């Protein structure tokens, strides 16, 4: 058996527990720093890609819809309104994409 009294033993255990708690706290802080989300340039590129895709799909869908409505209103059977407005939608979409691409980065 040991020569330590219960008081000495509790003092030694408290110091070990305090040291253990400090090491656990330091380990948690390191783990939080390691797992922290990192903001990168790819987030901005991802947003710009989504915007370009939205402009392209929106231009095509909007032009097709407006052309279909024009064809229905005029009663055309050859779908000239659809084709014309679809082409205009593509032109507008590419114009917007070029405007987005020519802006200086923020």
- Give pLDDT tens digits for 62-99: 999 999 999 999 998 899 999 999 999 999 999 999 99
Q: What are the pLDDT digits (tens) for 31-64?
A: 998 888 776 667 888 888 999 999 999 999 999 9
Residue 97 gets the label, from left (phi > 0), alpha (psi -120 to 50) or beta, of alpha
pTM of the model: 0.58
Between residues 2 and 73, the one the model is more confident about: 73
Distances (CA, A) of 58 to 10, 49, 50, 70: 72, 14, 12, 18
Regarding whether 32 and 67 lie in a shared domain, the answer is no
Please state the domain count of the chain: 2
Regarding whether 31 and 52 lie in a shared domain, the answer is no
Regarding whether 56 and 82 lie in a shared domain, the answer is yes
- The residue segments making up the domain with residue 75 are 40-106
pLDDT, residue 44, reads 81
């Amino acid at each position: 058996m040991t020569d330590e009294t219960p008081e000495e033993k509790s003092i030694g255990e408290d110091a070990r527990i305090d040291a253990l708690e400090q090491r656990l706290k330091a380990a948690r802080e390191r783990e939080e720093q390691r797992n922290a989300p990192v903001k990168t340039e790819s987030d901005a590129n991802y947003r710009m890609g989504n915007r370009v895709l939205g402009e392209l799909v929106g231009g095509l869908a909007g032009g097709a819809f407006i052309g279909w409505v024009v064809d229905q209103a005029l009663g055309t059977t050859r779908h000239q309104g659809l084709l014309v407005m679809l082409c205009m939608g593509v032109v507008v979409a590419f114009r917007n994409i070029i405007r987005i691409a020519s802006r200086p980065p923020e």
